[in-house]
Each structure stands twice: as C-alpha cells, then as structure tokens.
Amino acid sequence: MVRLQIIVSIGFLFFITTVASAQQKGCVEGNCENGWGIYEYYVGKTYQGRYEGNFSAGKRQGKGKFYYASGELYDGMWLNGRPHGMGAKFSKKGEMVSGTWEEGKLVKKHNNRVVLDCLVGNCKKGYGKSRGPKGSA
C-alpha cells in the first residue's frame, strides 16, 4: 500500500511539473528581461501569441509587435506590458486601426491612411513612395 502511494505521488509530481512547464514557453531569443527579445506566450498548451520587441524589468516596454494566435497583430509602443502610445492593430484580413493607446485600450483613433514608412520623397506633403501596413511599396 505504501509503495502504491509513493508511485502515485511520483506520477502526480511528474504530471504537475509537466503541466507547469507548459504554461509559458518564455523567452526564445534575445534578452527578455532588459533589452530586445522574442517571447512566446501559452496558457496551458494553448498558444496565445508572440511578442518581438523591447523589454524592461521583464515587461513589454518601448517599441514592439505582438502576433496574436488569432492572426491579429499589434505594432507600436508598449508600457508595463500593455499597448500604450502610438500604435496600430491589424486584423488577420489586413484591416488596420491606428491611434493612441493607453493601458491596452484605444483612446484616440487616427486616420487609417497612416504612412508607416516613407521610402522616398515627402509622404506627408503628398509626394513620395511609402511602405504600407503589409510591407508593399
């Protein structure tokens, strides 16, 4: 009987350890504590998303991108692990909502024709060539 309890206890500890380690894959590249890195998030065995960007004190901070498991993308500024400042969220169909974010919520919507990257000329004055949200010029 004691032997059976020991075997059951060892099996239970193995199961708990395996489940706990599956909670977060964690930092897969770079410095996810203070610097630039890539971090993958899981709840149990379910993939939640991937963050690529700057970290401070282990939190998403500064410029970064979060690729959601649903296919959405947030590209912009972060503070204390939440979207905060200028940023844009893209649906999996490529539709964009850009604006100012505070503590993870969109507080001011901007014109969705935001120029993301001016390659040549003066895109703000209406002439030049820019890169769109999907990378096309």
Output the pLDDT for position 64: 96
**Domain presence at residue 70:** yes
CATH number, residue 54: 2.20.110
For 105, the domain range is 25-131
- Return contacts of 82-88, CB within 8 angstroms, 24+ apart: 88/114, 88/116, 88/133
State the pairing for strand pair 82-90/96-102. antiparallel
Output the pLDDT for position 128: 60
Would you tell me how many other CB atoms lie within 10 Å of the CB of residue 51?
Answer: 21
**Domain presence at residue 2:** no
Higher pLDDT, 13 or 34: 34
Which pLDDT tens digit goes with each residue over 26-35? 999 999 999 9
**Domain presence at residue 14:** no
**Domain presence at residue 47:** yes
CA gyration radius for the chain? 21
**Domain presence at residue 6:** no
Count Cβ atoms within 10 A of the Cβ of residue 136 and give its class: 0-12 exposed, 13-18 middle, 19 or more buried.
Answer: exposed
Where does the pLDDT of residue 130 fall: very low under 50, low under 70, confident under 90, or very high at 90 and above? low
Q: Which two tokens stand for residue 118?
A: 């001016």
**Mean pLDDT of all residues in 132-137:** 51
Higher pLDDT, 1 or 29: 29
Number of domains in the chain: 1
**Domain presence at residue 1:** no
**Domain presence at residue 91:** yes
